[in-house]
Amino acid sequence: MRDEKGLAIGELSRRTGVNIETIRYFERVGIVATPPRTSGGRRVYGAGHVRVLGFIRGARELGFTPAEVRAILSLGGPAQASCSEVREIAAHHLERVRAKMADLAQLESLLATTIDRCEGDGAASCAVIELLDQYTTT
* Binding-site ranges for its own copies (CB under 8 A): 15-17, 50-51, 54-55, 57-59, 61-64, 72, 78, 81-84, 86-87, 90-91, 93-94, 97-98, 100-101, 104-105, 107-108, 110-112, 114-115, 118-121, 123, 126, 128-129, 131-138
- What are residue 35's phi and psi, to 5 degrees? -85, 165
1 binds, among its own copies, DNA, none (CB under 5 to 8 A by kind): DNA
Asked if 71 contacts 50 with a C-beta cutoff of 8 angstroms, the reply is no
Angle (CA) 35 38 44, round 5°:
35
Q: How far apart are CA 57 and CA 117, in angstroms?
A: 43
Report which DSSP code applies to 34: P
- Least spacing, CB of residue 12 vs DNA, in Å: 8
> Whats the size of the chain, residue-wise?
138
Q: Per CB under 7 A, which region of 16-24, 73-81, 103-111, 112-120 contacts DNA?
A: 16-24
Question: What is the spatial distance between Cα 53 and Cα 43, in angstroms, rounded to a whole number?
Answer: 15
CB of residue 88 to its own copies, shortest distance in Å: 10
CB of 1 to its own copies, least distance (A): 20
Sign of CA dihedral 79, 85, 87, 91: negative
Residue 118 site contact among DNA, its own copies, none (CB < 5 to 8 Å, cut-off depends on kind): its own copies
Q: How far is the CB of 131 from DNA (least distance, A)?
A: 18
SS3 125: coil
Contacts with DNA by CB under 7 A lie at 1-2, 8-11, 13, 19-22, 24-25, 37-43, 60, 65-67
